[in-house]
Amino acid sequence: MEKIVDIVDSIANQKGLDSEAVHSALKVAYINGAKRILGKQLEFDAILDEEKKAYRLYQEIEVVANDDPRLDTEEKDGVISLKEALKIDDEAEVGDELKKEIGLEAFGRTAAMAFHIELERALQKVTENAVYESYKSKVGKLINGVVERVDGEENTYIEMGEVRAILPKKNRIKGEKFKAGETIKTIVRRVTMNIKDGIRIELSRTTPKFLEELLRLEVPEIADGSITIERCARIPGERAKVALASHKPYVDPVGATVGAKGMRINAVGGELNGENIDAIVYSDRPEEFIARAMRPSIVNDVVCKDDNKAIAMIDSAQKAKAIGKAGVNIRLASMLTGYEIELQEVGMASKESQKSEDASALSALFNN
């Protein structure tokens, strides 16, 4: 076991593991190996010998009275009589805990195999924890991966370096097809780890965050913070709306995001399987924000209510645009603003107002 520290440090360096975590795991491996060989009921400790760069294994033994009954039972391996303890430490007293060094060499191949198994388990656990923490920190981040295969349920398995992740069918944009060997972009949606399944990394291409990260990649002004994405809403594969704010007076948030001849926004839409993206300027005034979110329709006025409901006044000619195909436009506007939006045609509003006035006049006439 000599120079085991150098070996472990080399492994940690090669795998990019935290050296302290590896040594902590190695210590546990020594203790578990000893328990496997000598008895699970016994207590052990492993102490690093800095000079020899090796771990020394000690059994923790309780000092008991010379006539303690445990000395003649199955518990005898965990205790030592005061008489024997004084031979090791001349200041030993009943109740003390002594550390008795265990020479593993005496156990031959059995010990070597046990420690080999425990060391492999320890290193595997440290490696898994490192990978888990690494990908946990990437939740919500954009990553590239290579398609390994697509199963019968249309879940896509992606190779990402040392791990394999899954892009479930539900997290894939409608109409997308992937082939083995193809490199694709995804967002890390969730990372979990348990004893049964190990590390599970779930990817997605349908979350608003995926669109945000693609825009950050494509638009330098978003990447450097000159423009921020204040809100984002998507119906994956169909349409999306993003609300943008500029933090520099000379930067047009919509123009910069769309790019010359729409090159930037079209590049992002192409990555999203042809998804159409509406870019608007964010406003902290709900009425103004809702009116902008309803584009390409033109809204005459917006009335916000206390219960996160709003009425958008429009001309009848704008109704089709306001609703959008299959209601997509008004749904996205509601998702983006957080308001339940109701449309009211201006002509109809006037008629309702006139009816109300006529009814009031008739009521006054009869009452007189």
Give the model's confidence band at 361: pLDDT under 50 very low, under 70 low, under 90 confident, else very high. very low
What's the CA gap between 319 and 328, in Å, rounded? Answer: 13
Give the model's confidence band at 107: pLDDT under 50 very low, under 70 low, under 90 confident, else very high. low
Residue 1: predicted pLDDT: 46
Give the model's confidence band at 121: pLDDT under 50 very low, under 70 low, under 90 confident, else very high. confident
> Average pLDDT in the 273-279 region?
94
Domains of the chain (ranges; CATH) run 4-135 (3.30.1480.10), 146-203 (2.40.50.140), 207-282 (3.30.300.20), 285-368 (3.30.300.20)
Q: What are phi and psi of 345, to 5 degrees?
A: -70, 135
Distances (CA, A) of 334 to 231, 323, 328: 12, 11, 10
Give the model's confidence band at 228: pLDDT under 50 very low, under 70 low, under 90 confident, else very high. very high
Residues composing the chain: 368
Say whether pLDDT at 365 is over 60. no
Say whether pLDDT at 87 is over 90. no
> Average pLDDT in the 111-133 region?
79
Distances (CA, A) of 244 to 107, 206, 224, 253: 70, 20, 14, 6
- Measured between its terminal Cα atoms, the distance across the chain in Å is 111
